[in-house]
Amino acid sequence: MEIRRLEYQELLPALHLVWEVFAQDVATSYTPEGVAEFQDFIKYENISPLFQKQEQIFFGAFDNGQMCGVIASGGNGHISLFFVKKEYQRQGIGRMLFQTVYNYCAQRLMVRELTVHAAPAAVPVYERLGMRAAGPEREEHGIRYVPMSVYVSPGLVQPVKPRSKAPLIIAAVAGVVLLIALILAGVFFVRNFQRAMRLTDEYLEEQPENGWDSGGGWDSGGGWDSGGGWDSGGGSQESSGLNAIPAYEAEGLSYEIREETYNFIDDEKQSTIIQFDVRYPVLEGLDSQTTAKINEAIKNCAMATVDKIYTNPSQEIKEKVLGEEVPILASYVTYKVCYAGEDLISIAFEDYSYQGSQDSFGADLRTINIGLKDGKVYQVQDIVDLDEAFVEDWLEVMRAEAENQAFLSELDTEQMIGTLGGDTQDGVYTPNFFVYADGIEIGYDLNYPQGDSHDLGYVWVTAPFTFEELEAYASDSDFWNCLDAAP
């Protein structure tokens, strides 16, 4: 597959492809006014002058010389056309086209954002790319769309080539497609940012486009490459990371779970990038005093990075921001309710952040396990007896999950007991656990210093145990009485 910028003589075939895919996959979802508006926009006589003046830059995907996909961007980084032939969808072609435009925006156009007006049906696809809505759904000229955006960073330029499936690193946020605020994207992450991203794709927000007033971001919902994953290769993609965890929710819960989002973009500071998108669950229906305590604890866990780098920044963060030409403060947080019982809820958060600069990328797992009767938050040391027998068993499972027998070799048994008990050794080993349908996973969020020889590239690793397997190590904590099915 070849991805390259189109020559002038290739413009007309590209527009024919755009119309073919639009008519086949998209037109039925638009009003007659919307179809006519789009048809007028892509007329050769309208696009040709923009192409010649480089106000619209076209890239194409070619299979053995045959054009099979097209993407176009304005000089301001706004995607105006994005289509892949139906028979070529779900093969990663859309991702390669997208990465090409991202690279061009970062290296040539020098824009800070890549933006698009996404057809409502395409919003989940762009979210899997890491994009986020920059406003509510709108309708203009019979065309419904959602403005979406992501920041552009030269440090995230990636080679454009088909992705093969990277080895699954449990710690590496497999399958989640995001690289935060500055990027937000589909990636496998490992700790060292410069070599961290096994898969990286990101981008978008709204701006009027030359030759097309604010209705114009033709991503086509059904016409672009909406295969269910960056390396799907046309097949189904294996779930991994938090996505692979089978959640448990008891029937007939006495409370409800809804989602809230803290979303903040600082548009006033021209020399600093500040963007936060933090999602977290909120419980309703419990005793009012307990509910407030529980929801505050959940929100605080979700907002930990925002608090660290923005609300209550340390002196180190302040100095880093002052020393950067373009400081970056960003946090993008998603979550999964892994266990929702009548007496306990277990939530895992994945947080991708920039903590002052482009070089200070962070990817973290945070978990919170709360008793719903009293709002008590449980830690690893509360649920298992941390002794040599447990650590020996746990380490064996951890190394099996990491598929590396050298993993954690820098720690002896006593140090592991200490770190699992809360001694993080300056934040390098943060203990976590979460409950889910099949049992409990216990492990670390890892934050090795840059250049540490013990850093094997894992962001977080957790060891899965069934409830029965943990029975021998279970503490006498009331935690076990909170489970619907305790060992």
**HEC secondary structure over the chain:** CEEEECCHHHHHHHHHHHHHHHHHHHHHHCCHHHHHHHHHHCCHHHHHHHHHCCCEEEEEEEECCEEEEEEEEECCCEEEEEEECHHHCCCCHHHHHHHHHHHHHHHHHCCCEEEEEECHHHHHHHHHHCCEECCCCEEECCEEEEEEEEECCHHHCCCCCCCCCCCCCHHHCCCCCCCCCCCCECCCCCCCHHHHCCCCCECCCCCCECCECCCCCECCCCCCCCCCCCCCCCCCCCCCHHHHCCCEECCCCCCEEEEEEEEEECCCCCCCEEEEEEEEEEEECCCHHHHHHHHHHHHHHHCHHHHHHHHCCCHHHHHHHHHCCCCEEEEEEEEEEEEECCCEEEEEEEEEEEEECCCCEEEEEEEEEEECCCCCECCHHHHECCCHHHHHHHHHHHHHHHCCCCCCCCCCHHHHHHHHCCCCCCCCEEEEEEEECCEEEEEEEECCCCCCCCCCCCCEEEEEEEHHHHHHHECCCHHHHHCCCCC
What confidence score (pLDDT) does residue 151 get? 74
What confidence score (pLDDT) does residue 278 get? 94
What is the percent of the chain with per-residue pLDDT over 70, rounded to a whole number?
79
38 confidence band (pLDDT: 50, 70, 90):
confident
- Which pair of tokens denotes residue 353? 């952040």
What confidence score (pLDDT) does residue 157 get? 57
Q: Which residue has the higher pLDDT, 307 or 456?
A: 307
407 confidence band (pLDDT: 50, 70, 90):
very high
d(C-alpha 372, C-alpha 294), whole Å: 7
Q: What is the pLDDT of residues 110-149, one digit of tens each?
A: 887 888 988 887 887 777 666 778 889 988 877 888 998 8
The arithmetic mean of pLDDT across residues 464-471, rounded, is 94
Q: In the beta sheet, which residues pair with residue 350?
A: 334, 365
What confidence score (pLDDT) does residue 125 get? 75
d(C-alpha 378, C-alpha 382), whole Å: 6
156 confidence band (pLDDT: 50, 70, 90):
low
Q: How many CA atoms lie within 13 A of 300 on its CB side?
A: 11
Question: In the predicted model, is pLDDT for residue 26 greater than 90?
Answer: no
Every domain of the chain and the residues it spans: 2-227, 246-482
Question: In the predicted model, is pLDDT for residue 71 greater than 80?
Answer: yes
d(C-alpha 295, C-alpha 284), whole Å: 9
First to last CA, the chain: 54
What confidence score (pLDDT) does residue 165 get? 27
The arithmetic mean of pLDDT across residues 257-272, rounded, is 84
d(C-alpha 95, C-alpha 91), whole Å: 9
Q: What is the pLDDT of residues 193-205, one digit of tens each?
A: 323 333 233 332 3
Q: Which residue has the higher pLDDT, 265 or 156?
A: 265
Range in 46-50, 87-91, 422-426, 428-432 the model is least confident about: 87-91
What confidence score (pLDDT) does residue 270 get? 64
- Which pair of tokens denotes residue 348? 């895992």
d(C-alpha 180, C-alpha 56), whole Å: 27
Q: What is the mean pLDDT of the chain?
A: 79
The arithmetic mean of pLDDT across residues 316-335, rounded, is 88
Q: Which residue has the higher pLDDT, 443 or 167?
A: 443
Question: In the predicted model, is pLDDT for residue 266 greater than 90?
Answer: no
The arithmetic mean of pLDDT across residues 225-252, rounded, is 55
- CATH 1.10.630.10 for domain 2-227, yes or no, is no
**Number of neighbouring beta carbons within 10 Å of residue 68:** 21
Question: In the predicted model, is pLDDT for residue 259 greater than 80?
Answer: yes
The arithmetic mean of pLDDT across residues 78-83, rounded, is 91
If we measure between CA atoms, which residue out of 441, 381, 451 comes closest to residue 416? Answer: 381
What confidence score (pLDDT) does residue 473 get? 96
What confidence score (pLDDT) does residue 158 get? 58
The arithmetic mean of pLDDT across residues 36-51, rounded, is 90
155 confidence band (pLDDT: 50, 70, 90):
low
Q: At what angle do helices 11-21 and 44-52 cross, to 10 degrees?
A: 130
Question: In the predicted model, is pLDDT for residue 174 greater than 50?
Answer: no
Q: What is the pLDDT of residues 359-395, one digit of tens each?
A: 787 789 999 999 999 999 999 999 999 999 999 999 9
Q: How far is CA 201 from the centre of its chain?
A: 10
Please name the CATH architecture into which domain 246-482 falls. 2-Layer Sandwich (3.30)
Q: Are strands 361-371 and 273-284 parallel, antiparallel or unpaired?
A: unpaired
What are the distances in angstroms from CA 74 to CA 80, 320, 424? Answer: 7, 34, 48
Q: Which residue has the higher pLDDT, 286 or 303?
A: 303
224 confidence band (pLDDT: 50, 70, 90):
very low
317-345: b (≥16 Cβ within 10 Å) or e:
beebbeebeebbbbbbbbbbbbbbbbbbb
The arithmetic mean of pLDDT across residues 386-414, rounded, is 94
Largest CA distance in the chain: 77
Question: In the predicted model, is pLDDT for residue 417 greater than 80?
Answer: yes
Whole-prediction pTM: 0.58
d(C-alpha 334, C-alpha 326), whole Å: 26
Question: In the predicted model, is pLDDT for residue 471 greater than 90?
Answer: yes
212 confidence band (pLDDT: 50, 70, 90):
very low
What are the distances in angstroms from CA 176 to CA 73, 180, 189, 232? Answer: 26, 11, 9, 13
Question: In the predicted model, is pLDDT for residue 233 greater than 70?
Answer: no
229 confidence band (pLDDT: 50, 70, 90):
very low
Place of tokens 């021998």: 472
